[in-house]
Amino acid sequence: MKWLAFWEMDSVDMDVNIKKYQELLAAREKKDPRFPQKPISDNYSFPGEYRGFILYDDDTTEEQLMNVAFHFKDTMNWTFEPIVSAAKTIETYMKMKK
């Protein structure tokens, strides 16, 4: 299952979160298994706001997502939503209709 990860922070936490994000990128480069290794998108932000999102692939575990949230605890809120393709949703719906 793929994941849509939303993040949000207060403006006063920008500097500390930049440092934490750099730590997360360094952990990914070192292949640290505690964190997701293959995001399928860039980390996007909404201009003028202190929130954004990133997409994670099928190999990302719930534990890795929780580790991301714990890494940013007290300075950034995370919400993780499972996502599936519209084609898969239609396929499942059609099977359930029978």
pTM of the model: 0.86
pLDDT digits (tens, 9 = 90+) for 31-87: 999 999 989 999 999 999 999 999 999 999 999 999 999 999 999 999 999 999 999
The rounded distance, in Å, linking the Cα atoms of 83 and 72 is 23
Q: What domains, with CATH codes, occur in the chain?
A: 2-97 (3.30.70.1060)
Tell me the C-alpha distance between 65 and 50, whole Å.
20
